[in-house]
Chains A and B, each alone.
Chain A
Amino acid sequence: MPAQKAKDSSEPLLNGWCERLRDGAAGREIAISELRSYLHRGLSQALASRYGGHVDPEDIAQKAVLKILSSLDTYRGESRFTTWAMSIAVRLGISELRRRHYQGISLDSSTTGEALRVTLEDTENGSAESSSRRRSLLNRLEELINGNLTDRQRYVIRGVLNGLPVEEIAARLQSNRNAIYKLVHDARLRLRAGFEATGVTADDIMDILR
């Protein structure tokens, strides 16, 4: 059935997008216009409810079209062309929303090299034993953060706890998203390994936090 066949990403119908969008292709301007409209429809919905929605979806759609046109050779046909194109548009839109939303918010004003303390307030709920276990867990967390993590990891962890997305932390540190995610992820792995070295498993942690 034609409708069903059209949804398969291997069909020429979908791969025809690349050919119609290339320089010099017949009907290229129409294809560009239709792609822009498609992206705009999706962005208008997806961006409106996020981070205050303070971007123009038409502007983002236009920027996305330019990026898609310059990236046509990277489309590998493993998904529908329109899904691939929309992923580029959404990423652009979310990045712009984050940039505007977090504009006035800085990382912790401290410098690297400082220890990160954990306050022990609010641990007194429940039984004396559960409070004691929580305090012990938090003390151990503080030891591990300051003994097993690098200065940069402590600094980035503080940024994550301040609510900054990895993308925004990367921008403030003149780094990139991949590097900051790896720092955070590696830090978490080190902390987990540190707990397990003293016999505290992931299940123990979740049980104590309950």
Chain B
Amino acid sequence: MKAMTYEEARKLLGAVAQTVPDSLTCDNCFRLMSEYADAELLGRERPETLTAVRIHFSQCPCCAYEYVALLEAIRAAGDFDVITSPLA
């Protein structure tokens, strides 16, 4: 197996130092992600139940990356529900 470089070891050690217990799987985080996003986008206080999402994001770069992309997509798409909803 390829040896770990010093930079790789630094990266791993940094992640280890910041590791805390995580109660969510990636799929469970995904199920809560839209609620978490709306709290941010609408300026609402997040309920305690969503704290686990923040913890998961801090330890799962994949999910955190998707969350940032989600916020960007929603902001780019515009507030569809107000502007162009077929029921308006």
Contacts and interface: CB of A to CB of B under 8 A. Distances in A.
A30 B12 contact: no
Contacts of B85: 6, 13
Nearest to A27: B86
A122 B77 contact: no
Given A14-B81, A50-B69, A167-B62, A206 B12 contact: no
B87 A202 contact: no
B77 A31 contact: no
Contacts of A86: 34, 70, 73-74, 77
A133 interface: no
B13 A141 contact: yes
Given A20-B86, A42-B74, A114-B1, A91 B66 contact: yes
Question: Number of contact residues on B: which range applies?
Answer: 35 or more
How would you classify the secondary structure of chain A's contact residues: helix, strand, loop or mixed? Answer: helix
B54 interface: no
Interface residues of A, number: 74
A87 B2 contact: no
A83 B1 contact: no
A177 B81 contact: no
Contacts of B7: 122
A108 B3 contact: no
B59 A158 contact: no
Given A42-B74, A46-B70, A209-B14, 4 more contacts: A83-B70, A110-B1, A141-B9, A192-B19
